[in-house]
């Protein structure tokens, strides 16, 4: 499965591995496979089509990856959307995001051929215009990556609201992302 394509530019190995545990791969359930296919088909691949190469370095997480993140000092949340449809987060919808510190070797979504702020602005605009939806869009400018997750309405058949949080993580703190007055406005 690791070498199988999710979309034309991404393979499962990118979603199921982590540099924190070399050689370790998360074993996805059919529901988790569905969550990540949706994420890559509807959000990640279109970003790739618009901006060129993207480095995915953390996608689906399990308890082993979660514990490794915590042991390495990252404030990983046990309720993260990275835990798609599992006992840690039964309403997790699938996410691609990044590390929690400047020394982290592996991050989840880094544009390699475009400016981070330009990519973030594009995604934000798509959401504001109603073309796209997300559960979360978080910009990590100091670490150089973006976190994005599926809206829950794309994943679950019963009505469950997405948080639709737009955040920025700077100087060790999360705050609401405001377009006006930022480098992105």
| pLDDT (tens digit per residue) in 57-102 | 678 888 888 888 888 877 677 767 666 555 545 545 555 544 332 2
Nearest to 85 by CA among 112, 62, 114: 62
Whether residue 182 has pLDDT greater than 60: no
Asked whether residue 184 is domain-assigned, the answer is no
Domain that holds residue 60: 5-176
3-state secondary structure (DSSP) of residue 41: helix
Which tokens in the block code for residue 72? Answer: 């390495």
Q: Which of 42-51, 101-110, 161-170 has the lowest mean pLDDT?
A: 101-110
Question: Average model confidence (pLDDT) for the chain?
Answer: 78
Whether 162 shows a pLDDT value over 50: the answer reads yes
Percentage of the chain with pLDDT > 70?
A: 74
Cα–Cα dist 50/71, whole Å: 36
Question: How wide is the angle at C-alpha 69 spanned by C-alphas 63 and 73, nearest 5°?
Answer: 140
Residue 65 lies in a domain: yes
Nearest residue to 2 via CA among 31, 30, 23, 21? 23
User: pLDDT grade, residue 170 (50/70/90)?
Assistant: confident
183 in a structural domain: no
Query: Please, are residues 146 and 97 in contact by the beta-carbon 8 Å criterion?
Result: yes
Q: Rounded to 5 degrees, what are φ and ψ at 145?
A: -145, 170
Q: How many domains is the chain built from? A: 1
Grade residue 140 by pLDDT with cuts at 50, 70 and 90.
confident
């Amino acid at each position: 499965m690791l070498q199988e394509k999710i979309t034309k530019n991404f393979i499962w190995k990118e979603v199921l591995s982590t540099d924190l545990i070399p050689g370790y791969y998360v074993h996805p359930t059919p529901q988790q496979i569905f969550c990540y296919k949706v994420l890559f088909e509807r959000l990640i691949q279109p970003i790739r089509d618009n901006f060129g190469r993207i480095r995915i370095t953390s996608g689906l997480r399990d308890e082993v990856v979660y514990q490794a993140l915590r042991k390495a000092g990252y404030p990983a949340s046990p309720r993260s959307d990275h835990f798609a449809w599992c006992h840690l987060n039964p309403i997790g919808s699938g996410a691609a995001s990044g590390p929690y510190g400047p020394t982290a070797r592996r991050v989840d979504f880094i544009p390699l051929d475009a400016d981070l702020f330009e990519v973030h602005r594009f995604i934000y605009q798509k959401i504001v215009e109603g073309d796209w939806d997300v559960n979360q869009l978080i910009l990590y400018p100091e670490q150089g990556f973006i976190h994005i997750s599926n809206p829950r309405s794309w994943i679950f058949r019963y009505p469950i609201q997405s948080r639709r949080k737009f955040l920025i993580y700077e100087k060790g703190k999360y705050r609401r992302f405001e377009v006006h007055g930022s480098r992105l406005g």
